[in-house]
A and B are shown apart, each in its own frame.
Chain A
Amino acid sequence: MKPILKGILWAVIGFTGGAGLLTLVRLALGMSLWDLEPAISVGYIFGLTGWLLGVGVWDYWARAWFGLPLKKFEANGLSRYFSFNLDHKVIGLQYLAVFFFMLLTGGLFAMLMRLELMRPGREFMDPAVYNQIMSLHGIFMIAVAVAVIIGSFGNYIVPLMIGADDMAFPRLNALSFWLTPLVPLLLLSSLFFGGWDSGWTAYAPLSVTNRTGQLFYNLAFMTLGLSSIVGAVNFLTTVLTKRAPGLTWGRLPIFVWSIIATAILSLLATNFIFVVLLLATLERIAGMAFFNPAGGGNPILYQHLFWFYSHPAVYVMALPGLGVVLEVIAHFSRKPLFAYKWAVAGFLGITALSFTVWAHHMFTTGMPESRTAFMFTTELISIPTGFIFLSALGTIWQGRLRLNTPMLFGLAVIVNFLIGGITGIFLADVPTDIQLQDTFWVVAHFHYTIVSTQIFGLVAAIYYWLPKFTGRMYSERLGKIHFWWMFVTFNTTFLPMFWLGLNGMNRRVAQYPAPLGDVNMWVSLNAFLLGASFAFFVVLIALAWVRGPRAVSNPWAARTLEWQTASPPPHDNFPREPKVVGAPYDYGVPDSTHAIVPAADSGND
């Protein structure tokens, strides 16, 4: 805990120094000495720097720039997880802890929302409070969906899968992680400043005229964006430069491809959310008028910039989960991944097309009839997405399906994401979108796409790789109970929301017309059951982690490299550098091998 305390101390010093400096400047300029939002903004820049330096950047990295000796790392024990550690496996689990915490907290916010929505009128909370809870739920879950799989399993598994000893830039990797705890911290702090009520989309002008809590959202999302960009550079460099000999592009596991696609999206798109929130912040604190028509600005500009990031971000959320799913389906069908190259083309095709569709979120803004063009690109994106389904279906067809828990979750993603995809067509086509935009149809649709890919994908990944990072096995019986519990209640919660949308319920409301009360009551009750399934999951995994039976190093008899070393893997992952000699998924091909891992004592050649 010492590095964290040091980080907090340096952050406080930095924040105070930054805010103090601003006060001096204001004094020099003859302005009023204190203005809250500029003080927070400038203070945060210095506080963030202080936090990063204090938590480890100074001791383990920056001292060398000044000719000072670096501090030694904690080598072992639990304290590694609370320090600036460079091991990608430690960082992967650090990511998992932060974002799983955010997932559970975001889930609690959802429970509060459903509590209020059980009945049509004003029940438990003030509409202003509801809007704050709804906004918090939205951004917590967006942060989870953007980062949890790539942060935890991207970090833990990708270097193992490509036969590397670590990521390309281990210090950058630790830096990108240590930015993330600030995200929930800032978002929760917003509640002390009146929260914010503009949702996770935070459209201007509402988001430049509301309470100070909004500023914390801006700073939090910008911080998350920084972390994403730094992480994306690292993933791309790692896959480009650290693959084991023989691991050609055509032999790369599909999960690695999904991370490549995700990293490209993060790297190229995240700048836009950073910029738009920077502009919105300047409009708040410096009187700029980018989005204010009275000052020559345009509120639609906000939405263009926002969605230029946030639509690609939808695929940042979806692709890693789909990568996990294809990975799991191939190993548990005991067949080569069907149409591997088409699946890769699917990931890369989605990546390219996702930059061309952003304005389909804006069909009802009254923009000129360019809607046709965005409708066209949006319809097109269903084609590469279809390749993922083709690959999954072709793989299970005639397989020898082993229906373990990870496989069940993988198959569930196919069903749920299919519902998400088909209901998305109604939003891509302008005539139907005019009616469905901003209704519960949209709410149901994006939960079917994002929860199914990222959250069901995360759960599949946790079950699948649990023996890898704990060396222990979960209970298959409890896992299956958990699967049916979560799969059924997910559908009984979100399917009726399509009906609500069709029947005139708009989103982001604490109160709604009375005739929609019964279905909302049903949705709420099922949402509580769905929420409870996560508590069950946490207990189940905690039990397995602490006292599950020891797992053999390759319990699934899988061919990919991460399973060809000890569980959990040693610090440098493999005793010696592996050699890749074949395709990753050639199950059933006689005498085929994916990779050879020489033993540590096999000679000195």
Chain B
Amino acid sequence: MKRHLLYAGLLWIILTAIGEYAAFNAKFFTAGAAAEAVIVDDAFRLLMLLGTPVFTFVLAGLVYSVLAFRARSESIEDGPPIRSSRTVTWLWLVITSGLAIFIFFNPGVKGLNELNANPNADLVVQVQARKWAWKLTYPEYNVTIEDASELVLPVNRRVKFEITSADVIHAFWVPAFRMKIDAMPGQTNVLYITPNQLSASSQNDFNLRVQCAELCGTGHARMRAQVRVVEQSEFEAWLAGQ
């Protein structure tokens, strides 16, 4: 019995070590391009680090049991009549409850607080979604772009997006910013994003795109616009050209 626990425990430790090494080092997402992306990426990695030992615990227990306890004879033989164990069940309850409550606070509540921390913005962009295009308005500059093929933003400026819809529900999503919110008819939703990486002009990062993420009919998949993050001066020059 002790021997089985030892071997299964060893298997768990080895699997966990491999898993944690991967969780620490893996690049889970394509490159982030906004300050908010860091919060999401960190939250993701933390959950991976916490989830790995849970996954490997069940996996090790299961794989070891199949290897060590499989019946070797054709005749049917019963195992030991263990109905339960007070220690094991209560330990399980305490540990799983502790983990569930821990991840509620961190990264859950902590990440939400970080995302909601700053209600100030340097720039307002109004987004109106409709089947199947984006209308972008920069109200401080009196610039409106119908059927936008690109969303141009200045780097390192906190942008307040005011998002609504003219018909059905859409969703405003920029994968590289890790931010998403639904565009609802009759309601204006707000999203704060601080782009912090200039877009390379030579290549289009496919995740630096506005993508509709809520099913909205035939044109849903292609309801996208390229995002271009530029220096403030270039941004102002671009505005002036509109």
Contacts and interface: CB of A to CB of B under 8 A. Distances in A.
Contacts of A510: 221
Contacts of B96: 382-383, 386
Residue in A431, A514, A588 whose Cβ sees the most chain B Cβ within 10 Å: A431
A513 B206 CA distance: 7
Given A369-B116, A422-B55, A425-B47, A508 B62 contact: no
A383 B100 contact: yes
A140 to B, nearest CB: 17
B102 to A, nearest CB: 9
A586 B186 CA distance: 61
Given A205-B168, A372-B109, A128 B218 contact: yes
A437 interface: yes
Contacts of A422: 51, 54-55
Those 9 A-B pairs whose CB atoms lie nearest each other, nearest first: A293-B186, A431-B111, A366-B189, A509-B221, A504-B175, A588-B78, A588-B81, A513-B206, A335-B79
Contacts of A172: none
A206 B65 contact: no
Interface stretch (A413-421, A488-496, A573-581): A413-421
A386 B92 contact: yes
A100 to B, nearest CB: 28
Given A206-B215, A400-B77, A503 B29 contact: yes
Contact of A506 (B43, B116, B211): B211
Interface in B172-224: 173, 175-176, 178-182, 184-187, 189-190, 206-207, 209, 211-222
Contact of B79 (A293, A333, A386): A333
Given A383-B97, A515-B206, A509 B54 contact: no
A105 interface: no
A43 interface: no
A400 B187 contact: no
Most A Cβ at <10 Å: residue of B1, B109, B221: B221
Contacts of B89: 339, 342, 390
A583 to B, nearest CB: 8
A131 B180 contact: no
A517 B42 CA distance: 28
B30 interface: yes
Q: How large is the interface on B (under 10, 10 to 19, 20 to 34, 35 or more residues)?
A: 35 or more
B186 A425 contact: no
Nearest to B186: A293
A364 B79 contact: no
B213 A437 contact: yes
A336 B83 contact: yes
A210 B216 CA distance: 10
A371 interface: yes
8 contacts: A197-B217, A198-B217, A336-B83, A383-B100, A393-B65, A394-B88, A437-B180, A438-B171
A293 B187 contact: yes
B81 A336 contact: yes
Contacts of B112: 369, 371-372, 430-431
Nearest to A129: B218
A330 to B, nearest CB: 10
B11 interface: no
A431 B43 CA distance: 7
A532 interface: no
A209 B168 contact: yes
B85 interface: yes
Pick from A340, A383, A432 the residue with the most CB of B within 10 Å.
Answer: A432
B4 A398 contact: yes
A403 interface: yes
Given A127-B221, A435-B175, A438-B214, A396 B108 contact: no
A335 B85 CA distance: 14
Interface in A545-564: 557
Contacts of A372: 108-109, 112
A508 B215 contact: yes
A397 interface: yes
A512 B223 CA distance: 11
A513 B203 CA distance: 14
Contacts of A438: 171, 173, 180, 213-214
A58 interface: no
Given A127-B221, A366-B184, A386-B92, A432 B97 contact: no
B152 interface: no
A428 B178 CA distance: 16
Nearest to A375: B108
A509 B186 CA distance: 25
Given A131-B218, A429-B107, A402 B168 contact: no
B2 interface: no
Contacts of A197: 215, 217-218
Nearest to B223: A509
B134 to A, nearest CB: 15
A401 B99 CA distance: 31
A203 interface: yes
A338 to B, nearest CB: 6
Contact of B55 (A300, A365, A418): A418
Interface string A396-414: 1111111100000001001
B221 A431 contact: no
Interface stretch (B68-76, B117-125, B142-150, B233-241): B68-76
Contact of A379 (B82, B103, B173, B206): B103
A334 interface: yes
A536 interface: no
A289 to B, nearest CB: 11
B179 A396 contact: no
Contacts of A298: 186
B103 A425 contact: yes
A203 to B, nearest CB: 6
B82 A587 contact: no
B172 to A, nearest CB: 9
B58 interface: yes
Contacts of A73: none
A389 to B, nearest CB: 6
A376 interface: yes
A379 B101 contact: yes
Contacts of B9: none
B231 interface: no
A509 B78 contact: no
A430 B111 CA distance: 8
B221 A401 contact: no
B13 interface: no
Given A127-B221, A203-B169, A503 B30 contact: yes
Nearest to B29: A502
Contacts of B77: 334, 400
Given A199-B215, A401-B69, A366 B182 contact: yes
